[in-house]
Structure 1
């Protein structure tokens, strides 16, 4: 029990450790990262084996030919992928690291069998011999060999590209010229340094000696696609790669060599397919071309600028999520000094996507994350310096950010930055942390004297300028006196800080990732909200909510990573509106084909109207501008905008088909109220008034003042009655809209050549003709008498209907919940049952209606007495105004304002027809269709008690 109890106490500790580890990668993903293989590779099989490797031009090969013993035998693990044989020894994982592209395999044959060994002899294209001795069960070895045979057959088309690819490798050129003594060979194309010279002094860097060492290594251990890496390979990297070999070695260590071979034509195809195209990335590239290592001669000439432009442009088309980002021009310019355009393109690809992911992205999340990691490592490894930095409020990230982002290219002389890059491509991203820590360590004494950012930066700049000087100029020991500052930096970085591993960096990244991503998202949101178009009806809090809902809907876009498309297509747009618009939320009607058609038609009109650039996608700014039009409180403005959605030809008139489309859209928009799901203001007030009427009836004459009012403790409401009334009212409104639209539409003039051709020649056609004649009498469907309504007529038709007027005046706006957070409780919808409960719970609303009833009764009695005594007609008029239905108090002011500001509406054909037909009954009242209280309020049915109060 004590053991279990102790283990239980340690669970939180284990949880914290688990959270700090690198996010789980699959076995194949880890394998590809470790061996720098192309992304489409995966492990097909693996086995234990012993490997013997004899280079075609090595001393061991000569001994074998003379009958002497072969080379060393390494035990380890052998892996097979679709295009590679990969082997790593189990002794120290550095003695024999072979990544062999099977395109280089010329012949495979079984070695002479013994009683206990199953082996293969593999011969490569240049004569190199590999002996593979399988360990383990025989059937597993046979299985591996059969799979290898299948992959070799499948790879034959790819192997045909090998000769032309080898012509681009400088290592192959060295062997052909100096070993095979071939004369008909050309020097491979190289980087800009071949013409404009390489940075640094070739004599001081001992280029010839380094080249000789690499030449000897290639003879013994193979080259390019069939090289074996061991301890000597790593030492040669640390000593320094010769300039002529640097491009190929960088390709080999980064894995770009394998990508270039697998995609030999892709670079040129990208440039050709996108030639002449414009993009935002290309515009940014053009601005930075002349700021890319301007101190190097090649980038002061068009040749260098042209190569750099091609590489950056091709990558922007290959990876549109990144496109082009700050400092990519610096890195690409450095690569092009040693590489051709195609080589630099693939090396830039692997660098951005594998070595420093997120450094060159829209949000630069990788760089920001690594700055937090670097600060943590400084606080742990250099605590005294870190305390000084914090005490003086020095921003370390301001100093170190350029080191990481430009890979030291802009911080120190290029010849030293390239030496660091040699090790960076071999060891990976931990190199940046090791070198950066060493820089601070070496200069710590001087940095402890700096009390501000400017002095801190100045000390380091001076250090970088003097990297070629002696680190110990006053030393009496000649051995120490000749050690340069750069050599001291390398020793400090890779000896003292060798404890900084990839796993340690990954753990620190995971600790800070969540916080950094949250900060990025907050910053991006603030930036985008500031850059949103000017809105007239949406508040800042509304914009924030819309932003959140928008990016919740566009799930493919990762804000913190800056990847994926930030635009929404029509399908996402429909889902987006369904999150906060009552009329677009999923309902039981979604299975009705007619309803689905109505919904899609209207949403397509909205989508196309908001898509101002006709891109087929909506940006956040498009959505903001569109919603701002829908939530306006100006009724005339909303009606005009709604009209414009259906005016396809923008001629200011709606023809028959367009009116029918609008009618379908109104049926869709009003579905939640037409179905009784939600309640509108008219139903709400009707319920309130009925409750008030029953309260007055219950209290009778005893209700003389508001002090006497006693609200009921419980009410049973006939919900179906009000629901059916609302449904009937909306259906009637839809019917009236079509009827009035075609009744008051103006006739259009037909072209002179328009004629209906009678093609009937039999009895059946005669029947059809009669049906057609009956249809002609319907003005709405008669093609011989087309009609249209303008915006003025449309407004008046809406205003003439109480239901639609309230819908456009308030209901539609309130159904768009842009003011609610994206995670708001969806149960807050104005459903009928919930609204009934709210009315009863809110006694003030009912009390207000009772007060109006009491005041109305008192006024009626006073007016009657006044008429009896004086007979003054003005009192009757005051009484009529006082008793007018309370539901239209707001409309009184609106009607007068409408008449003043839109008197042009009175000239519409509908107004003229109304005045002619209804002159005796009062054209103005009929025009606005404002009913009196007597006409509009139903008298309570005495035979059916709708409201039952508890005793």
Structure 2
């Protein structure tokens, strides 16, 4: 393969010259083609692996006689190809080069000729060519080394050393979306590590004497130490992102989707990264930080940034330096000095963007004008023309969307963020009740409808705060685009006036953006949710009356109805959360200060952006933040941390504080001061407040001797928090202006425990601290030390630990749920669980898994135990002896097993089901296995289209199902009087009212029969078409078995015998009960007089196509066409065999008896598949030709 000429200074290092002429040299890589233990091969291989420089083993160099510089002109991995290139050079180039007199001209001619050959042989780059050639080569090497399918995408790879013992092995760390891999080649020895990110339990940077400056990755089984990185910070950041993505998959059961919009994004001065996925992950991290800081919707993507931009401060009449951020719908600005000035400009409000050269003396200025007559001037903008074009492009898209929204009106409303939310359409007009509910939506806060008595001093304080806020609006504007300055933060800390609280909450939470971009969305939700019955709605009804009982509004229907509509609407919007306790308290306070639609969007902002993962069944986000809090407590107050840990309070306090934003332990008019700061500064406020309260009580808590005393101490402190009469923080004559006393402290929230405020009507006996003082102290002590960025980093670390601890709990619950008897050891069950869990998570990551929707409020946290049909097929083929031969026809049998054990009919099996299925097919006694196989071929599990002598195909299965239903309906009668059982042959005279068992009940009876320990479980007889299908399965099971030929002889012998036994019923219309021949001796005695030549035969090969076996082994079945029409009408449906006859016949054959008594070694099977790591790698990655 020709390559663009590049200069080579040392030609003979690690290379051997094979051929040479005046101008060209053909070389082979030293050690190539020789034994692997050859010293040259070992040294060169190690050198290439360490430097990741392994080139193709053959190359051609160009050199003139008097030059010391070589030029690489061709490379190849095959000797045939490189010899072809060599012959082409000798044939086409040598004669031409002989005509040149100057060596420089010869070199120039050779380089130009080779470059032209390269240009003609290689296709031109396209827009989809987003990765470098070196990375593509590394990606192919990664897939080859670790056997990864095409779906497994490499994100990036780094050179590092792995500490094996006390010696580091230099190699390469490959980071893919779902796996962390390491490969090292050192002096002929390969070493590999392959670990799923979902198996990682801890990820941290360490710097010890044994492992200096390293990254430690821990799993449940072992720990790995990697060091000697060239880019350690970048590597650890990417590893943290991938581990966090894996934890998100464990929580949400959602796969990873590439952002292909990055390819077409208009950008400038953006360096091309070697990996497109690496660029994608970097863009996601930047977008997440951008959305978090500016409180933007979850689907907003950062498009680009401009450094060293200045904005004009209209209040102080000066410019402020900072960074401009661009997204699809917003232009934002952050000052270089924190909290000096921040601005958010929604493009939906912008009407003009223009160069401001004629409007201002500032250089390179851009002027934004909004429809609210406000303007924003940005100066010192590099590449101003490019930015204006970019903004024009974004503005045109925003204008199009705005026109579409206005034209659609309220007819259709789209969910705002992830694909897990609901797309809502206008409800039909006939839904009168829901229409009535939507018309009753509150358009004003409940506080205005149910005013609370206000103390005179409190009223004066409210007027004073209102004047200051009004002056702030005059200086810095109002609404989403207001200038957010240090003065704003000071006013927020002192408390927002009641009349402005709704507006400020909406602005700083980002809910105002959702409200503006989704007109009519809430009304559509109300219409569809209130009359809908669901588990979430039932839970909401139980919690309505305990949401905020101290306020009069929630003793009246108008307040309760509004709260119901908000909570039910959110449960409809986000069914993965549905409803979680503590949401009712937040929504009730929102309704006091906001109208109903505003309260809904505030709830959305809290649940989906400000406190992510808090409000699900396992409150994962709250557990993560609880660990973060106690790590901070250990850093700032180590003595108190150790004492609380000794008392056992680490896991008890503060969970309810964070879930309810302190509403569960403070009066609501004190807690709203904390909520003011929370909406402005984010979750760090909750941490600062908690640490401040613990710091204030540190000495007293250290004296507590038990947890009860400590809880009582915190309870008294929280009950004494009150309002003050003025803006003076400290004073001796502080007067409590709280309109409601504080509640007792709710210390813990456990699963299934209602979350609500305790009685707030109790009298407060002792004042502890004013709420404004508490907030001020929290900012003074921890405001600069606890930042959002620091909390996010700590969350990443603790989320891995929390999620993995919950996964361990899922494992323990899964093992406890397995019904006895358990035929496998705990170690085998553990290994099987994690293997199946890993396969499931790989499906999720690659987008192959679909959870089937789910109802509102359904918990998908145990997605690993929800085994779908595709995964069950692969697991069945891997671990069951019936599928171990890889015969694809066994998928039909697997499908019937899945149908039998899918008790709920939702298309999923549990881990308990899987364990019992593997035990029934590979570990149970022979009688249970044969009974299981027999049941799998009874209706309604098997719907056969084979034509019977007396029935049509479309009637056979239904009639047999009816027979089976009647059989099981009379089991109790059979057990008491077994001699009276008689098989009816007149299905047409059977009325439908006699069907006492439904199809579901019949399948449940079959399941009980399979799992029963009794050896004499009665089963209905099997007719001829179902018997033929069962015998097909017998042939399929033994394909490629080591005793295949002997097994086929036995199958033919037993099959012919059973065919003869089935003909017995044709000679006796009133046949005795099949259970009367229960003993094997009786069965064998009844078999002896039967002759194989009793009726004209047909070859069963005509009925089972595609099964390869010796032609001499032909099972003979009586031909249907040998019977007269009268015979068909009278006795055709009487052909049958019983399970006892089937069992006794099988046990007469040693080969079959031995096969069904062999027990599998599950641990050995699991070990074989652990190296593959992906059970369905081949089937999912390959496509049919």
**2:634 aligns with one of 379, 382, 385:** 379
**1:52 aligns with one of 293, 303, 312:** 312
Deviation of 1:408 after TM superposition, in Å, equals 0.9
What are the Cα deviations for residues 2-49 of structure 1, in whole angstroms up to 9, with x where unaligned?
xx99x9979733536959869345222222222221122213344354
Q: Name the SS for the 2:622 alignment partner.
A: helix
Q: Partner of 1:523 in structure 2?
A: 809
Q: Partner of 2:795 in structure 1?
A: 509
**2:573 aligns with one of 318, 321, 325:** 318
CA distance in 2 between counterparts of 1:424 and 1:566 reads: 38
User: For the pair shown, which has the larger CA radius of gyration, 1 or 2?
Assistant: 1
Q: Partner of 1:776 in structure 2?
A: 1121
**1:567 aligns with one of 866, 882, 886:** 866
Q: Does 1:36 align with 2:328?
A: no
CA distance in 2 between counterparts of 1:353 and 1:733 reads: 67
Tell which deviates more after alignment, 653-662 or 434-443: 653-662
Alignment of 1:734-749 (within 5 A): 736=1056, 739-740=1059-1060, 743=1063, 746=1066
Checking the alignment, whether the CA contact within 8 Å between 2:332 and 2:344 is kept in structure 1 is yes
Checking the alignment, whether the CA contact within 8 Å between 1:580 and 1:818 is kept in structure 2 is yes
Question: As a proportion of its length, which structure holds more strand?
Answer: 2
Deviation of 1:548 after TM superposition, in Å, equals 3.8
Query: Normalization by structure 1: what TM-score?
Result: 0.65
Deviation of 1:477 after TM superposition, in Å, equals 7.0
What are the Cα deviations for residues 622-651 of structure 1, in whole angstroms up to 9, with x where unaligned?
546666765784655554444333222252
Q: Partner of 1:403 in structure 2?
A: 657
Q: Partner of 1:609 in structure 2?
A: 900
CA shift in 2, pair 1:599/1:275, >3 Å: farther
CA distance in 2 between counterparts of 1:602 and 1:75 reads: 70
Q: Partner of 2:1145 in structure 1?
A: 800
Deviation of 1:344 after TM superposition, in Å, equals 2.9
Deviation of 1:423 after TM superposition, in Å, equals 0.9
Deviation of 1:124 after TM superposition, in Å, equals 1.5
Q: Partner of 2:329 in structure 1?
A: 83
Q: Name the SS for the 2:331 alignment partner.
A: strand
Deviation of 1:800 after TM superposition, in Å, equals 1.3
CA shift in 2, pair 1:384/1:217, >3 Å: same
Checking the alignment, whether the CA contact within 8 Å between 2:670 and 2:771 is kept in structure 1 is yes
Alignment of 1:477-488 (within 5 A): 484-488=769-773
What are the Cα deviations for residues 250-278 of structure 1, in whole angstroms up to 9, with x where unaligned?
22222222223333333333444455444
CA shift in 2, pair 1:329/1:152, >3 Å: closer
Q: Name the SS for the 1:127 alignment partner.
A: coil
Deviation of 1:298 after TM superposition, in Å, equals 2.7
CA distance in 1 between counterparts of 2:372 and 2:934 reads: 78
**1:667 aligns with one of 1011, 1035, 1042:** 1035
Q: Partner of 1:99 in structure 2?
A: 344
Checking the alignment, whether the CA contact within 8 Å between 1:553 and 1:575 is kept in structure 2 is no
What are the Cα deviations for residues 466-515 of structure 1, in whole angstroms up to 9, with x where unaligned?
212889xxx99759999953233222211112212223333433444444
Q: Partner of 1:137 in structure 2?
A: 383
CA distance in 2 between counterparts of 1:317 and 1:215 reads: 38
Checking the alignment, whether the CA contact within 8 Å between 1:740 and 1:797 is kept in structure 2 is no
CA shift in 2, pair 1:316/1:156, >3 Å: closer
Q: Does 1:280 align with 2:535?
A: yes
Q: Does 1:729 align with 2:1049?
A: yes
Q: Partner of 2:879 in structure 1?
A: 580
CA distance in 1 between counterparts of 2:821 and 2:585 reads: 40
Q: Partner of 2:671 in structure 1?
A: 417
CA distance in 2 between counterparts of 1:413 and 1:230 reads: 30
**2:403 aligns with one of 135, 143, 157:** 157
CA shift in 2, pair 1:127/1:337, >3 Å: same
CA shift in 2, pair 1:110/1:619, >3 Å: same
Q: Partner of 1:442 in structure 2?
A: 696
Query: Normalization by structure 2: what TM-score?
Result: 0.53
Q: Number of aligned pairs?
A: 705
Q: Name the SS for the 1:410 alignment partner.
A: coil
What are the Cα deviations for residues 222-259 of structure 1, in whole angstroms up to 9, with x where unaligned?
33333221112212211111223223322222222222
Q: Name the SS for the 2:647 alignment partner.
A: coil
Gaps of 5+ in 2: 1-160, 162-167, 169-206, 217-231, 242-283, 411-440, 737-767, 846-850, 852-858, 941-960, 964-1019, 1070-1117, 1173-1185
CA distance in 2 between counterparts of 1:746 and 1:203 reads: 102
CA shift in 2, pair 1:385/1:616, >3 Å: closer
Q: Partner of 1:491 in structure 2?
A: 776
CA distance in 2 between counterparts of 1:109 and 1:362 reads: 51
Checking the alignment, whether the CA contact within 8 Å between 1:308 and 1:329 is kept in structure 2 is yes
Checking the alignment, whether the CA contact within 8 Å between 2:1023 and 2:1136 is kept in structure 1 is no
CA distance in 2 between counterparts of 1:93 and 1:420 reads: 21
What are the Cα deviations for residues 436-491 of structure 1, in whole angstroms up to 9, with x where unaligned?
110011122322322111111111111122212889xxx99759999953233222
CA shift in 2, pair 1:647/1:224, >3 Å: same
Checking the alignment, whether the CA contact within 8 Å between 1:395 and 1:453 is kept in structure 2 is yes
CA shift in 2, pair 1:827/1:319, >3 Å: closer
**1:551 aligns with one of 813, 837, 841:** 837
Q: Partner of 2:745 in structure 1?
A: none
Alignment of 1:524-923 (within 5 A): 524-532=810-818, 547-555=833-841, 562=861, 567-585=866-884, 587=886, 589=887, 596=888, 598-623=889-914, 633=924, 638-645=929-936, 646-648=938-940, 649-651=961-963, 652-668=1020-1036, 670-671=1037-1038, 674-676=1039-1041, 679=1042, 723=1043, 725-726=1045-1046, 728-729=1048-1049, 732=1052, 736=1056, 739-740=1059-1060, 743=1063, 746=1066, 776-777=1121-1122, 787-788=1132-1133, 793-802=1138-1147, 807=1152, 811-812=1155-1156, 822-823=1166-1167
Q: Name the SS for the 1:44 alignment partner.
A: strand
CA shift in 2, pair 1:818/1:12, >3 Å: same
Tell which deviates more after alignment, 13-22 or 403-412: 13-22
CA shift in 2, pair 1:203/1:565, >3 Å: farther
**1:210 aligns with one of 462, 465, 474:** 465
CA distance in 2 between counterparts of 1:126 and 1:502 reads: 32
Alignment of 1:291-330 (within 5 A): 291-330=546-585
Checking the alignment, whether the CA contact within 8 Å between 1:743 and 1:779 is kept in structure 2 is no
* CA RMSD, Structure 1 to Structure 2 (Å): 4.5
CA distance in 2 between counterparts of 1:134 and 1:515 reads: 46
Checking the alignment, whether the CA contact within 8 Å between 2:330 and 2:344 is kept in structure 1 is yes
Checking the alignment, whether the CA contact within 8 Å between 1:535 and 1:625 is kept in structure 2 is no
Checking the alignment, whether the CA contact within 8 Å between 2:880 and 2:922 is kept in structure 1 is no
CA distance in 2 between counterparts of 1:318 and 1:804 reads: 62
CA shift in 2, pair 1:423/1:270, >3 Å: same
What are the Cα deviations for residues 426-445 of structure 1, in whole angstroms up to 9, with x where unaligned?
21222121111100111223
Deviation of 1:348 after TM superposition, in Å, equals 2.3
Checking the alignment, whether the CA contact within 8 Å between 1:193 and 1:337 is kept in structure 2 is yes
CA shift in 2, pair 1:616/1:512, >3 Å: closer
Checking the alignment, whether the CA contact within 8 Å between 1:741 and 1:794 is kept in structure 2 is no
